[in-house]
Amino acid sequence: MIQLMEKEDAATAADQRNEIVLDTRELNLWYGPEQALKNIALQMSEKQVTAIIGPSGCGKSTYIKSLNRMVEMNPLVRITGQVMFKKRNIFHKNYSVEELRTQVGMVFQKPNPFPKSIYENVAYGPRIHGIRKKKLLDEIVEKSLRDAALWDEVKDRLNENAYGLSGGQQQRLCIARTLSIEPEVILMDEPTSALDPISTLKIEELVQELKQDYTIVIVTHNMQQAARVSDQTAFFLNGEVVEFNDTVTLFSNPNDQRTEDYITGRFG
């Protein structure tokens, strides 16, 4: 019996070793002559939440924006190294940015809904991907809004302008918009820094829900938020990863003195 139980435990442990979805290898990035990322190596597993913390200018936003190649919108950017998304290098010339971004969605610091109705905000992505049937679009809109924990608040006013929503609702709408095209990864760049504490809590709860189905990377200035929502945390400093560790370990007994100094507020 004990042997059987041990076997089961081993099987569960194996299941928990999720597949690596995003594998960053020796990633270097320059803005003109300035090197913003230095030899970044990070592995993000399926259905895990990874938090990126670090002081302003440490490269955390640059890093997260490189994961869906948004960083390349700046013409001065030069990149070496690889980011393997499901074993394919996203920087390879044959990898289309559009294809990447349908699978790696992003939510920004300030909610940025389109100046359209709530419904249209969510239906926009699926429409671009060729979905025309009203019934199917309705289903996608409802499911996305439900998954973003917004449905109950907006179901009776789907045709109203999204700008009429509160900041927290707008941010959840942007999350619903991201979910509508069924990505595998959701990148969040300081998603709650413009929100009040209650809306922040709702987004944090949502992150916990979403990680059942999605791999999430979240950049945050709020270290308690990183501690609350993430499974693993990377501490960036001057463009380098100082420490990448289990969140609990990183916040209770970090390996690197610089991590300790940063999270205890001795600099940054």
Beta carbon nearer to other proteins, 112 or 257: 257
The residues of the shown chain that bind other proteins, judged by CB under 8 A, are: 223-224, 227, 251-254, 259-260, 263-266, 268
d(CA 191, CA 169): 12
C-alpha 207: how far from chain center: 9
Closest contact distance (angstroms) between CB of 35 and other proteins is 26
Q: How far is the CB of 259 from other proteins (least distance, A)?
A: 8
Name the residue nearer to other proteins (CB basis): 80 or 264: 264
Between 170 and 192, whose beta carbon lies closer to other proteins? 192
196-199-205 Cα angle (round to 5): 135
Going through the chain in order, the beta strands assigned E by DSSP cover 20-31, 34-45, 49-53, 77-85, 88-89, 104-107, 185-189, 215-219, 232-237, 240-246
Q: Are 141 and 119 in contact (CB under 8 A)?
A: yes
**In the bound complex, what is the minimum distance in angstroms from residue 109's beta carbon to other proteins?**
17
In whole angstroms, what separates CA 164 from the centre of its chain? 26
How far is the C-alpha of 62 from the C-alpha of 44, rounded, in Å? 17
Closer by beta carbon to other proteins, 76 or else 267: 267
| Closer residue to other proteins (CB): 106 or 223 | 223
Distance between CA 265 and CA 268 in Å, rounded? 7
Dist. CA 138–CA 160, nearest whole Å: 15
Output the smallest distance, CB 237 to other proteins, in A. Answer: 14
Q: How far is the CB of 21 from other proteins (least distance, A)?
A: 28
C-beta of 196: minimal distance to other proteins in Å? 18
Which CB, 85 or 235, lies closer to other proteins? 235
